[in-house]
Amino acid sequence: MDFEIKKIDEWRFLIPKAGAMRVPGLIFSSSELMPNIKDDQSLQQVVNVATLPGIVKHALAMPDIHWGYGFPIGGVAAFTMENGIISPGGVGYDINCGVRLLTTSLLANEIRPKIKELISALFKAIPTGVGSRGRIRLSRGEEKKVAVQGASWAVKKGLGTKEDLERTEDHGAMQGADPSVVSDRAFKRGHDQLGTLGSGNHFLEIQAVDEIYDQKIADAFYLFEGQLAVLIHSGSRGFGHQICDDFLKEMGTHVKGLGFNLPDRQLACAYIKSNMGKRYLSGMACAANYAWANRQIIMHWTRETFEKVLGINPSDLNMEPLYDVCHNIAKLETHVVDGKKLALCVHRKGATRSLPPGHPDVPERYRKVGQPVLIPGDMGTCSYVLAGSQKAMEETFGSTCHGAGRVLSRKQAIKAAKGRAISRELEDKGIIVQSRGKTTLKEEISEAYKDVSLVVEAVHMAGLAKKVARLRPLGVIKG
């Protein structure tokens, strides 16, 4: 490594501008988490991102940073609309991968005897695994509508309510989506995958709220101790993956003609203002909308499954989305930089938006306390709810962490789990798990991840979001 790391305070580490870097790197971490990343490639990736045209202030990294395609996962980078670039590698292969948390009026303890039955029914209702096909077959015309309308497409089809949309980031629809830039292959891959969970770290978990850190905000979020909740983690499936793939290929050639050097070919990009940049944004928005429709539909089937298995009315279940956030996206936003309002394209790759109290884009019901920030942990530990902050607006373009972050690669994790019965290990901890394949569970063992509590503590202490509640898993379905 040929760069320096300076400790600013307990929670901030600076990589001073050097060589081809246009801005310094700023890492949010802690003395406990820093050793995890010092030897991997992710900090070099922060340095690489800092060389890209039009980058503003800092190349940022959250405490859950780890190695990714070109850009690190757990990274944030903002570029001016005027001179900046947009890069598929800064968004990630799973465009609009994200999480949606559902609250209920049920007590977890009362439902505990039913968890196994619920998990089994959810596993039947929601297809999981790589290449899994859903219960919906979309004609090309309908699939284009999904790509433009997002979650509201599902609501129009009776799969949810208008209120659900109000509790979804951007109302579950990104503007500027243009299906004409999406390849035939992407549409083919997406036509039967709506309402499917996928594989890897995607999951659906039944959880119990087990600790409240901020009572006032918890009240505003309708969270209470002992409450039964459901967390859905999924994305844009093969549809978004293909869109990313298509644009990476195109931009790989395109970027060679732009006259600047890339430290890594995986940083393929285009100027935001160029036709190529605009086309990517339009395609990315299609994938983002597909993902929002996907999580909306998965939620609808989750509601139906709970009502059926528990034999209760919707009004007694009261299963409502607390919020739905995306953590793989690039967005056009206005931020104050050095006292000046600037139009920026903010890349959040494995990072969550964290809007402060009073911000107009926070749903009205939460506006006084800030945007809900949902942080899934690894399988078998816990997840967190936080609230957005002003400090995040000032330091990270309104962003915070997105999860635990890997410490072992998938290969290393499979090796570490060799010969172990992971589902049995989880059952011994009181967590019922049902998965399509054994390999996914091995890839996802707890040891493969950083301690999510340390990650959340680091962003809380840095002021990038405020801890509200912790949730423990009771049951999980996986790919």
**Type and span of the H or E element at 479:** none
450: which residues sit within 8 A by CB, 6+ positions away?
33, 36, 63, 64, 404, 405, 406, 407
Q: How far is the CB of 146 from DNA (least distance, A)?
A: 16
- Give alpha helix (H) positions in 221-377: 237-254, 275-310, 314-317
Nearer to DNA, 267 or 393 (CB): 267
Question: Long-range CB contacts (< 8 A, 24+ apart) of 271-275?
Answer: 271/53, 271/54, 271/83, 271/84, 271/85, 271/86, 272/54, 272/79, 272/81, 272/84, 272/85, 272/86, 272/345, 273/81, 273/82
Kindly identify the residues of this chain, within the stretch 353-412, that bind DNA according to CB under 7 A.
Answer: 410
Nearer to DNA, 53 or 437 (CB): 437
Nearer to DNA, 240 or 277 (CB): 240
Determine the interface stretch with DNA among 234-242, 264-272, 379-387, 445-453 (rule: CB under 7 A): 234-242
Determine the interface stretch with DNA among 237-245, 317-325, 354-362, 372-380 (rule: CB under 7 A): 237-245
Residue 20 as a binder of DNA (CB under 7 A): the answer is no
Are 368 and 357 in contact by the 8 Å Cβ rule? The answer is yes
Question: Which of 92, 91, 60, 84 shows the shortest CA–CA distance to 277?
Answer: 84
Q: Which of 241, 254, 327, 402 is catalytic?
A: 402
Q: For residues 173 and 290, what is the distance between their CA atoms, to the nearest angstrom?
A: 9
Nearer to DNA, 24 or 70 (CB): 70
Indicate which single residue of 29, 104, 199, 400 sits in contact with DNA (rule: CB under 7 A): 199
Indicate which single residue of 44, 48, 96, 201 sits in contact with DNA (rule: CB under 7 A): 201
**Type and span of the H or E element at 166:** helix 162-166
Residue 235 as a binder of DNA (CB under 7 A): the answer is yes
In sequence order, the β-bridge partners of residue 477 are 204, 434
Q: How far is the CB of 475 from DNA (least distance, A)?
A: 19
Helix (H, G, I), strand (E, B) or coil at 444: coil
Q: How many residues bind DNA (CB under 7 A)?
A: 25
Determine the interface stretch with DNA among 185-193, 251-259, 270-278, 391-399 (rule: CB under 7 A): 185-193
Nearer to DNA, 94 or 164 (CB): 94
In sequence order, the β-bridge partners of residue 139 are none
Q: For residues 174 and 98, what is the distance between their CA atoms, to the nearest angstrom?
A: 14
282: which residues sit within 8 A by CB, 6+ positions away?
176, 177, 178, 181
Q: How far is the CB of 241 from DNA (least distance, A)?
A: 4
Q: For residues 227 and 282, what is the distance between their CA atoms, to the nearest angstrom?
A: 40
Q: How far is the CB of 131 from DNA (least distance, A)?
A: 4
Any idea which residue has 């869109």 for tokens? 243
Q: How far is the CB of 349 from DNA (least distance, A)?
A: 12
Q: How far is the CB of 243 from DNA (least distance, A)?
A: 11
Catalytic residue check, 66: no
Nearer to DNA, 271 or 301 (CB): 301
Kindly identify the residues of this chain, within the stretch 125-184, that bind DNA according to CB under 7 A.
Answer: 129-131
Kindly identify the residues of this chain, within the stretch 46-105, that bind DNA according to CB under 7 A.
Answer: 93-94, 97
Q: How far is the CB of 193 from DNA (least distance, A)?
A: 6
Indicate which single residue of 241, 327, 335, 442 sits in contact with DNA (rule: CB under 7 A): 241
Q: Is 397 left (phi over 0), alpha (psi -120 to 50) or beta?
A: left
Indicate which single residue of 188, 278, 359, 438 sits in contact with DNA (rule: CB under 7 A): 188
Q: How many residues does the chain have?
A: 479
Residue 238 as a binder of DNA (CB under 7 A): the answer is yes
Helices 275-310 & 237-254 angle (0-180, nearest 10): 170
Q: For residues 355 and 370, what is the distance between their CA atoms, to the nearest angstrom?
A: 6
Q: How far is the CB of 404 from DNA (least distance, A)?
A: 11
User: Which residues are at the interface with DNA (CB under 7 A)?
Assistant: 93-94, 97, 129-131, 185, 188-189, 193, 198-202, 235, 237-238, 241-242, 410, 437, 439, 444, 479
Query: Which residues are catalytic, by number?
Result: 402
